[in-house]
Amino acid sequence: MILLENKTAVITGGGQGLGLAMARAFVAEGTRVVLGDLDGAKAKEAATSLGGEDVAVGVECDVVDASAVQRLLDTSVERFGSLDVVVNNAGITRDATMRTMTEDDFDQVIAVHLKGCWNGTRLASAIMREQKSGAIVNISSLSGKVGMVGQTNYSAAKAGIVGLTKAAAKEMAHHGVRVNAIQPGLIRSAMTEAMPQKAWDQKMAEIPMQRPGEPDEVAGVALFLASPLSSYMTGTVLEVTGGRFM
Among residues 26, 106, 154, 224, the one annotated as catalytic is: 154
Told to judge if 232 belongs to the known catalytic residues of this protein, a careful annotator would answer no
56-60 sheet: strands from edge to edge: 56-60, 32-37, 8-12, 85-88, 134-139, 177-184, 237-240
Rg (CA), the chain: 17
C-alpha pair distances (Å), 148 with each of 31, 36, 39, 139: 35, 28, 28, 17
DSSP element (H, E) containing 146: helix 143-146
Q: What are the backbone angles phi and psi of residue 45, rounded to the nearest 5°?
A: -65, -40
Q: Could you give the CA distance from residue 33 to residue 127 in angstroms, rounded to a whole number?
A: 17
CB count within 10 Å of CB 3 equals: 17
Q: DSSP label at 74?
A: H
Give me the active site residues, please: 154
